[in-house]
Amino acid sequence: MKHLGVIDWGIGGVSVLRELQSKFPRTSFTYYSDTGAPPYGTLSHSALTQRLEVVVDRLVARGVDGVVLACNAASTVLMRGVTFSVPTLGMIEPSVNLAVTSRAKRIGVVGGRRTIRSRVYRNALAERGIDVVQRIAQPLSAAIERGHFRTPAFAALVEDIVRPLRDVDALLLACTHYPAALAAFALHLPGVHLLDPAREVALSVRARWSIKPSEASLTMLTSGDKRSMHRSARLAWGR
């Protein structure tokens, strides 16, 4: 593979893109922010699958030969056996591996409504003898998209979400937006190990796919408003 695509509904997946660029500095990347579509977590399984097929095919037309779904909601379709026209890796398997290798006995999982209600993390970790406490943290990603994640209101929201998780050993961030708000999670969960799967995803790409050196490049695309994407990525990731 010489050209990787990275897909998220918004700019959360830039956290994964950064790790991929670090691991594969001589690789072409195309990032697709699909804010012109309904939020992935609100779509039915069939509608989400169809939308992802459209986006993947658009990237393939641009020369992409492998795709990372840098979105937990989107990744749930892979766990139901969906395949695409090029090799595709999601967030869930690398995230489970990260949680298991952390050796935590009790893990909190925070994510969007679709991710949490799918029970993919609860089931996978329970099979490995890990006690799991899940919390839907739906408003956080929208606030991060708007750049409102350093406000007192956001901090209060995080505090309310994580209050039942203060006795966990580790917290799995099951949304790629959440690493932008690590400081807020750390403030309200002192001593809890925060698990950001982005690096594990990049390691999984290295382990599964043969990435051949090519001319390094980065193309950022969006189906939504270009200026909004630029602002959101700059505020969250300094991009």
Q: Which of 6, 69, 70, 71 is catalytic?
A: 71
pTM for the model: 0.95
177 catalytic per annotation: no
Specify whether 73 is catalytic. Answer: no
What does the DSSP assignment read for the chain? --EEEEEESSSTTHHHHHHHHHH-TTSEEEEEE-TTSPPGGGS-HHHHHHHHHHHHHHHHHTT--EEEE--HHHHTTGGGT---SS-EE-SHHHHHHHHHHTT-SEEEEEE-HHHHHHTHHHHHHHTTT-EEEEEE-HHHHHHHHHT--SSHHHHHHHHHHHGGGTT-SEEEEESTTGGGGHHHHHHHSTTPEEE-THHHHHHHHHHHS-------EEEEEESS-HHHHHHHHHHHH--
Decide whether 3-90+199-237 matches 92-197 in CATH topology. yes
pLDDT digits (tens, 9 = 90+) for 47-72: 999 999 999 999 999 999 999 999 99
Domain 92-197 sits in CATH 3.40.50.1860: yes
- Identify the active-site residue in 55, 175, 184, 202: 175
- Topology given in CATH for the domain delimited by 3-90+199-237: Rossmann fold (3.40.50)
The domain ranges of the chain are 3-90+199-237, 92-197
pLDDT in tens, 150-188: 999 999 999 999 999 999 999 999 999 999 999 999 999
